[in-house]
Chain A
Amino acid sequence: MNLLKLSTAYLKKNLLSTILNVLLLSFGIATIVILVLFSYQLEENLYKNAEGIDVVVGAKGSPIQLILSGIYHIDNPTGNIDLGEAKQLMRHPMVASAIPLALGDNYRGYRIVGTTTAYLEKYRAEPASGSLWDFEFEIVLGSDVAEQTNLAIGDRIVSSHGFSEAGHVHDDHELTVVGILHPTGTVLDRLILTGVETMWGIHQPHDHDHEDEYHSDQAHDDEHVHTHNHADGDSHSHSHDNHQQDGHFHENGHSHDHAGHHHTHGRAITDETFLDEGYDDEQITALLIRYSNPLAAAQFPRFVNDRTSMQAAAPAVEVTRLLSLLGVGLEAIRLFAFVLIFASVLGIFIALLNSMKERKYDLAIMRTLGGSRWKLFSHVVLEGVMISVAGGVLGLLMGHGAMEGIGRLFSEAQQFAVTGFVYVPGEELILLLAAAVGVLSSLIPAVMAYRTEIAETLSKS
């Protein structure tokens, strides 16, 4: 016999009320745990993906939209910018590095991003199998994409226009999987990557026998922002037939004949050659820029916004803004959690209070048997703490379980994979909160137990 066994015996005696109070508290704790896990993963994701990006440049529009589409690949892009103009910014002295992104297509909902290999280096992504692209129409899959679509190296796919699966299908350009990336824990895992020129190639004006398709493509332009080619369609000689017949993409590229530049064989534009390759009348969607010095943060965005037809948005600023918008919702949920916890404080308090009335003879007897006032006090507090710590432990488990459930439920739809199998530093402190709930709610009943007057109680029997 000890206080733990004694308190357990009383809790078992009132099993229903004990279970209800444990559950009530565990719901409140679980809600807080979900919030903590979610915020932690969200902030980690936001931070990790924006690491090393000081500013994003894209078409004018909402800066948050530009950040969401350019870094996190969530929202639709704000539009396209001319590569010529973008290159001027890339050469700007305040710019240490700039990664071009061309968006506009997806495969089964996974975004296809035309970029240079610098984008992969930024996220320290390396192929787990295969290699990076060397030629246009070669693609590299993020680890989640490979896992979800079961695509393997050598497989060919056709992309859909826009950002949903329902888009117009570019079935005249097959894309070949040449590599699959290691998981990076970043947005890259859910992207399909290729050279920018692939995106230009897919959206090129077609030969005359494809004219209908081309027109329907154009009709989408108001809804879907994508990279497409306005200019000199006639100067492109583009033989799709060869593609489909022999499948040798590498050999039969496109001959771009403009700006004095000759590009044959469809060899991919490398990071080193990007600035010098020409294509100035092509378009891209965004530039991810790192400054050469910290002072640029004050001047560069203003320069872009005032002097060019583009806009610059700083992830640090926009992410803070986004979190503060999101914060209202999270705050509401947090408030709800505290209401639940307060309700459980009341619940435990009332249960113990009623129990004290039933137990006044028991308490008096314990005193006559030699128990001190403090022993009875501890006995009652222990009972409250046992309920609340049980609620806390259950709440922690439920919170992690629910987070994992939510993560799985939305795993297809989200750019941010959330999981319940994550440890947030300090999350065990929530058990202290739970214990505090137990102490708080048992304090008054425990004082009543402490004050038990034996002679008075027993002579009333």
Chain B
Amino acid sequence: MIELRSAFHEYNAGTVVKLPDLTAGHGEELLILGLSGSGKTTLLHVLAGLLKPTGGSYRLDGTDLYSLGESERDRFRGNNIGLIFQAMHLIRSLTVLDNLKLAQYMAGRKQDEAKIRRLCSDLDIGPKLYSYPDELSHGQKQRVSIARAVVNDPVLLLADEPTSSLDDLRSGDVLNLLRKQAAETGATLIISTHDQRVKAHIPTVLTLDQPEGEVAG
């Protein structure tokens, strides 16, 4: 259960981004649609626990995320929030297996190789466990980044533009994978995108149309 109430963020330059109120329960799916500059990225970072909003409240399963100390928030994020980036950002010096172990290690969890193997064979990347990211195709890398986001059984799964560089067929595949993985852990799935095709898969849509640089009264 996530709850964002009357939040806004003021950047150093004085630009204020007002965030919409937002509620989503376990297993729910939410699509955030908006053009770049609509505050989409700010909203996503606040929801991910990466950016402390200047004002407002944000609770994730009852925890006021931004009242935690920084290290506690890091740990909480590692354990409860799964993030998928458009650029994926896999660690190139580590194998697929070690990338996933790193997620468990950084979150302070037990390193469970059996679980990683299970997850990877679910995502059809089982044979690639000992490959380095540079040896993988784009689609395989995306699956690894999905695996990394869900390996710690998050309550919130956030995906930033997961489909924008894909054709229709592949974009459908990725969305299905995301929904399936979220459903398996009972996580809330929030996808942020400007890709209108996603609407066909996820009916609950929050459209952002805030023009850039709106200054708070």
A residues near B (Cβ < 8 Å) are 1-2, 5-6, 9-10, 12-13, 361-362, 364-375, 454-455, 458-459, 461
Q: Helix, strand, loop or mixed for chain B's interface?
A: helix
Q: Given A1-B111, A455-B50, verify A365-B98 contact (CB < 8 Å).
A: no
Kindly list 8 other residue pairs between chains A and B, CB separation below 8 angstroms, not including A370-B75, A370-B77. Answer: A9-B98, A365-B89, A368-B77, A370-B103, A371-B74, A455-B51, A458-B85, A459-B45
Counting chain B CB atoms within 10 Å of each CB, the highest count among A364, A366, A369, A458 belongs to: A369
Nearest 3 A-B pairs (CB), nearest first?
A: A370-B78, A370-B107, A1-B101
Q: Choose from B48, B76, B86, B91 the contact partner of A362 (Cβ within 8 Å).
A: B91
Q: Say yes or no for B79: interface residue by CB 8 A criterion.
A: yes
Interfacial chain B residues near A5, Cβ < 8 Å: 98
> Complex: how many Å from CA A367 to CA B74?
7
Identify which of residues 52-98 in chain B touch chain A, using a CB-to-CB cut-off of 8 Å.
70-71, 74-79, 83, 85-87, 89, 91-94, 98
Q: Is the CB of A370 within 8 A of B98?
A: no
Q: Is the CB of B79 within 8 A of A361?
A: no
> Complex: how many Å from CA A13 to CA B134?
13
Q: Is the CB of A372 within 8 A of B48?
A: no
> Complex: how many Å from CA A5 to CA B103?
14
B residues near A (Cβ < 8 Å) are 41, 45, 48, 50-51, 70-71, 74-79, 83, 85-87, 89, 91-94, 98, 101-108, 111, 148
13 CB contacts below 8 A, A to B, read A2-B105, A6-B94, A9-B98, A367-B74, A369-B78, A369-B148, A370-B76, A370-B103, A372-B74, A372-B75, A455-B51, A458-B89, A461-B89
Q: Is the CB of B106 within 8 A of A370?
A: yes
Interfacial chain B residues near A13, Cβ < 8 Å: 92-93
Q: Given A362-B89, A459-B45, verify A369-B107 contact (CB < 8 Å).
A: yes
Interfacial chain B residues near A458, Cβ < 8 Å: 45, 50, 85, 89
* B77, closest chain A residue (CB): A370
* A371, closest chain B residue (CB): B106
Interfacial chain A residues near B148, Cβ < 8 Å: 369
* B80, closest chain A residue (CB): A370
Q: How far is the CB of A418 from chain B (nearest CB, A)?
A: 44
> Complex: how many Å from CA A9 to CA B95?
10
Q: Choose from B71, B93, B98 the contact partner of A1 (Cβ within 8 Å).
A: B98
Counting chain B CB atoms within 10 Å of each CB, the highest count among A367, A368, A461 belongs to: A368
Interfacial chain A residues near B92, Cβ < 8 Å: 13, 362
Q: Is the CB of B70 within 8 A of A373?
A: yes
Interfacial chain B residues near A9, Cβ < 8 Å: 93-94, 98
Q: How far is the CB of B84 from chain A (nearest CB, A)?
A: 11
Q: Is the CB of A369 within 8 A of B98?
A: no
Interfacial chain B residues near A2, Cβ < 8 Å: 105
Q: Choose from B83, B94, B105 the contact partner of A368 (Cβ within 8 Å).
A: B83
Q: Is the CB of B85 within 8 A of A369?
A: no
* B151, closest chain A residue (CB): A369
Q: Given A2-B105, A370-B106, verify A461-B74 contact (CB < 8 Å).
A: no
> Complex: how many Å from CA A2 to CA B105?
7
Q: Is the CB of A12 within 8 A of B93?
A: yes
Q: Choose from B48, B79, B85 the contact partner of A370 (Cβ within 8 Å).
A: B79
Q: Is the CB of B50 within 8 A of A454?
A: yes
* B103, closest chain A residue (CB): A369
Interfacial chain A residues near B85, Cβ < 8 Å: 458, 461
Interfacial chain A residues near B93, Cβ < 8 Å: 9-10, 12-13, 362
Interfacial chain A residues near B102, Cβ < 8 Å: 1, 6, 366, 369
Interfacial chain A residues near B101, Cβ < 8 Å: 1
Q: How far is the CB of B90 from chain A (nearest CB, A)?
A: 8
Interfacial chain B residues near A364, Cβ < 8 Å: 89
> Complex: how many Å from CA A438 to CA B53?
38
Q: Is the CB of A366 within 8 A of B106?
A: yes
Interfacial chain A residues near B50, Cβ < 8 Å: 368, 454-455, 458
Q: How far is the CB of A257 from chain B (nearest CB, A)?
A: 93
Interfacial chain A residues near B75, Cβ < 8 Å: 370, 372
Interfacial chain A residues near B104, Cβ < 8 Å: 1
Q: Is the CB of B98 within 8 A of A374?
A: no
> Complex: how many Å from CA A370 to CA B98?
16
Q: Choose from A6, A372, A455 the contact partner of B45 (Cβ within 8 Å).
A: A455
Q: Choose from A12, A368, A369, A374 the contact partner of B71 (Cβ within 8 Å).
A: A374
Interfacial chain B residues near A6, Cβ < 8 Å: 94, 102
